[in-house]
Structure 1
Amino acid sequence: MNLRPDPSFYPTPRMAMEAPVEKLAFTLMLSPDFSQPDGLAVVNVDPQSPDYGKIVHTVFMPNKGDEFHHFGWNACSSALSPLTGHAFLERRYLIIPGIRSSRIYVVDVKEPLQAKIHKIIEPEEVFAKTGYSRPHTIHCGPEGIYVSTLGGGGADGTDGPPGIFIMDCETFDILGRYEMDRGIQDKHYDFWWNLPRDYMVSSEWGLPPQFENGLVAEDLLSNKYGHSLHFWDLRGRKNIQTIDLGENHQMALEVRPAHDPAKQYGFCGVVVDTTNLQGAIFTWWRKDDGTFEARKTITIDPQPADPADLPEMLKGFSAVPPLVTDIDLSLDDKYLYVACWGTGEMHQYDVSDPMNPTLAGKVEIGGIVKKTKHPNGKDFGYGPQMVEISRDGQRVYWTNSLYSTWDEQFYPGERGAAMVMARVGTGGGLTLDPDFWVEFPAGYRSHQIRLEGGDCSTDSFCFPSV
């Protein structure tokens, strides 16, 4: 425990934007055929360094078949909460769940170039203490580590609904389930909150049989994947409202509330509209009476394509859907970045007016049909996927793998891991840095990114910006 709050904790998002520029990034590596252990890569992102764009340290796990997906910190700016915070923690450990194995690794990155495994939580402990499986998203809360799951109990994860459990932020012991009353919530994906306003928002993907062996086309066309947002009394730990976005809006994934807690709105990305193959972004907001509403504010059209150029799953449509698989919001709440994994595009929207977003910039790279190369001439396999933004909002990083079995369905054959970065123009717009290209070890794919000291999908803030 520190004697003073960690200097990377900030009361407001605006103060966090003035933080020192990141020099390192942490990126997950997964072995899609489970022949090698998954790992964590420490990447140099300092343009003044001779190691710029290079992996400078790796940590490989002692097990195989974990399938790393999303990860997060043990503590962040939420620890400064005046009511429930643990202000003297330090941002020191990365909590990395294996979505297939249900195993959780705690990695000590206090000395990033000597990062090492601190603790391993075996799946049996997760099952016994929570009844959940397939841990997915990590958020550092004021009083503990919150972990969302994609599976319930039983071998196939369908014995009861998935949900959220909480870990101690110092010992990493599993404390137990979050939910006291889940209402109608029976699927899970992402979650985030507004701490001072005391509410949480969660979203839905599907149950393990719907994703582990690939997308189930019959379930998609029958609209059986998740399509709802759930709103929670955060401290009461109960569902207070559910909004169905419409059963055609399949797979409501990333939830991104405004960073400034004085603002009571946020965004959710929807992978595909089954009526027209569009991708969509919904804006949700809280009304004066405390209830919530949501409205579709961005649509992204599919692109016509020759069936000969398409994977089997898409041949019958003669088109490439955008496949919105990740979104991220800059700390000033101005720009929303939308990863279109299918068409090979990263969109930047000005969301200063959250109900009327406007396209401000776009980068094309990868894609099922386009296969746009990086400015350095190298092939970017798959499409833009997990996206992370620097705290000052000037750099946007992304990787290219979605999920091993889904990669194979939409992009057959091994395409290799990739991580790139685009610079943000003064008035918006994106330009890929031709000199930033990370080479990953053979046989690996790359997924989520965390930036040294915090980033735009890590921290939640307890005080409004001035």
Structure 2
Amino acid sequence: MASWRPDPTFYPSPSLAAEEPQERYAYVATYWRGEGEPQKDALAVVSVDPAADDYGQVVGWTEMPNHGDELHHHGWNACSSALCPGNPHPHVERRYLILMGLRSSRIHFVDVRQDPRNPTIDKIIEPEEYKAKSGYSRPHTAHCGPEGIYITNLGTAEGDEGPGGIALLDHDTLEVKGTWEKDRGPQYLAYDFWWHINHDRMITSEWGTPRQVEEGLLPEELLAGRYGNKLHVFDMVRRTHLQALELGPQYQMALELRPAHDPQHQYGFIGVVISLEDLSGSIWCWHRDGDDGDFAITKVYDIPAEPVADEDVDKLPEMLRPFKAVPPLITDIGLSVDDRFLYVSCFGTGQSIQLDVSDPLNPTKVGEIRLGGIMSRASHPAAPDLPLSGAPQMVEVSRDGRRVYWTNSLYGAWDDQFYPDGVGAWMAKADIDPETGAMSLDERFFPHGDDFRGNRVHQAHLEGGDASSDSYCFS
């Protein structure tokens, strides 16, 4: 009798995920934002096997069929959450990356399993269908979960405002099932989401509406405190709002959520882009004692802005000149699967900071690299004479925690505001010592420039899953 086994890239626990063979490929969302004849967005396949002859090279390129999608975040159709006993889906497989057009609201299902170096587009949900069935537009983040595929969205189907929220897609048919929330309470702005899956709690965060985002940061809206500054807690089973966690109006753009991977724990980290008081960025920890209490949120780490000398103020982008400083601009964070290290990307200063978060409420800095940055333009060791624009932005951590990858573009219109001379395209990697945890930049790995055919690079996911793609139900 034939046996029917779950996908081998589904891992019951974080520790078992860390024991699996390392990834061979990184899948990078690239998008075109330039002048002249439009090019198409594409999924780039980058070789990340240090033993391969083509290590660090782009070895696959799958173009999207339309122009102007602006590929941004992407996620798997299925992952380790399929093994959760509360709502199991052991028959599905990690086959598709869901590439979403943040501008177009078009959803692409790209098969990376059949031929990992030559992905193919198997299905597309066109914007009109997606908006009509989901009630939303501008899809941002996708996670595989207990009821199917969850996708968060910045705006409504009808226009450029909110409320944003979450759509649910079917695991098997890949069709849109509808709006996820039954009672959103006061939640209006949307951005990221994730969950404590064993405890039936979803956490969501806030950025802005399409009007506040698509054509760039709106300084008057920022100074008025109108971007996101809350987290929201939902009951995952009832799909109802339970709690809003207020950060304070001075803390603007509460973005990436990284919950503890150990499913016994109910805490996690969020990066806040900027404080209106001093231009600093900050890391906060949400936490809960037991299953009956409310969640609380605590600021646990500050990253200060860096002052700029009077004679150099003209080198700043126009919107920063009155402040004579470079804000760190925390735009992404990554939590290692063992919940030990948090990696913080600073799109303004060019820092990537490594924090030891073994004690979640008392992080300590243990490492830092610099690449790019608004003022520093720090180069990579592989090209020491090449000043870099952009900065470590999206960050991804391997399952075993020994490799960290960065890409350098935030979002087209926002790139152009902070780096008006362009950000180019580059990807970097650091190795993490398994004994000491020390972080060191890999001098061999630096795909950049023409490697990405004129496109900019945003999020990367790793073959077989990574630290920001899977949730687990067993410790």
CA-CA distance at 1:88 after TM superposition: 1.9
Residue in 2 that maps onto 1:344: 350
What are the equivalent positions in structure 2 for 1:8-407 lying under 5 Å apart? 8-33=9-34, 35-110=38-113, 111-156=115-160, 158=161, 160-288=162-290, 289-305=292-308, 306-376=312-382, 377=384, 378-407=386-415
Cα deviation code 1:71-116 (max 9, x no counterpart): 0000000000112010121101111110000000000111112310
Relative to the length of structure 2, the TM-score reads 0.95
Aligned to 2:173, the other structure's residue is in SS state: coil
> 1:125 aligns to what SS in structure 2?
helix
Is it true that 1:463 corresponds to 2:460 in the alignment? no
Secondary structure of 2:467's counterpart equals: coil
Cα RMSD for the two superposed structures = 1.1
Does structure 1 retain, via aligned residues, the 8 Å contact 2:317–2:420?
yes
Cα distance in 2 between the residues matched to 1:443 and 1:404: 13
> Retained in 2: the 8 A contact 1:72–1:137?
yes
- The one-letter code sitting in structure 1 at the alignment partner of 2:441 is L
CA contact (8 A) 1:371 1:380 kept: yes
1:412 partnered with 2:420: yes
Q: Deviation per CA, 1:358-403: give whole Å up to 9, x if none.
A: 0010001110000100011243321110000011101100000000
Q: Which runs of 4+ in 1 moved over 3 A?
A: none
1:428 aligned residue: 437
Contact 1:287–1:293 (8 Å) recurs in 2: no
CA contact 1:231–1:241 (8 Å) conserved in 2: yes
Task: Answer whether contact 1:268 1:282 (CA < 8 A) is retained.
Answer: yes
SS in structure 1 at match of 2:71: coil
1:348/1:429 contact within 8 Å kept? no
The alpha-carbon deviation at position 120 of structure 1 amounts to 0.6
In structure 1, give the amino acid aligned to 2:278.
Answer: N
Structure 1 residue 32 displacement after superposition:
1.4
The answer (yes or no) to whether the contact 1:326–1:385 under 8 Å persists in 2 is: yes
> How much has 1:462 moved relative to structure 2?
0.7
Q: Which whole-Å CA distance do the structure 1 matches of 2:60 and 2:407 have between them?
A: 18
Deviations 1:151-171 (A, max 9, x none): 113232x2x511001111121
Answer whether contact 1:230 1:243 (CA < 8 A) is retained: yes
Identity percentage of aligned residues: 53
Distance 2:199 2:184 in 1: 19
Q: Give the drift of 1:131.
A: 1.6
Matched position secondary structure for 2:199:
coil
Distance 2:124 2:14 in 1: 32
Q: Distance in 2 between matches of 1:71 and 1:450?
A: 8
Any idea what the Cα deviations from partners look like across 1:187-227, whole Å, max 9, x if unmatched?
A: 00000001111101000000111110000000101111000
State the alpha-carbon separation in 2 of the partners of residues 341 and 314 from structure 1: 14
Distance in 2 between the 1:328 and 1:206 partners? 22
Cα deviation for residue 450 of structure 1 reads 0.3
Gaps of 5+ in 1: none
- Distance in 1 (CA, whole Å) between partners of 2:355 and 2:117 is 36
Q: Distance between the aligned counterparts of 1:177 and 1:85, measured in 2? A: 21
- Measure the CA separation in 1 of the matches of 2:333 and 2:313: 28
Return closer, same or farther for 1:227/1:356 CA change in 2, 3 Å cut-off: same
Q: Which residue of structure 2 lines up, in the alignment, with residue 437 of structure 1? A: 446
Report the alpha carbon displacement of residue 461 of structure 1 after superposing the two structures with TM.
0.3
| Amino acid paired to 2:282 | A
Question: What's the CA shift string for 1:265-286, capped at 9, x where partnerless?
Answer: 0001000001110000000101
Count of residue correspondences: 461
Q: Matched residues in 2 for 1:210 and 1:190: separation? A: 16
TM-score (norm 1): 0.97
CA contact (8 A) 2:255 2:271 kept: yes
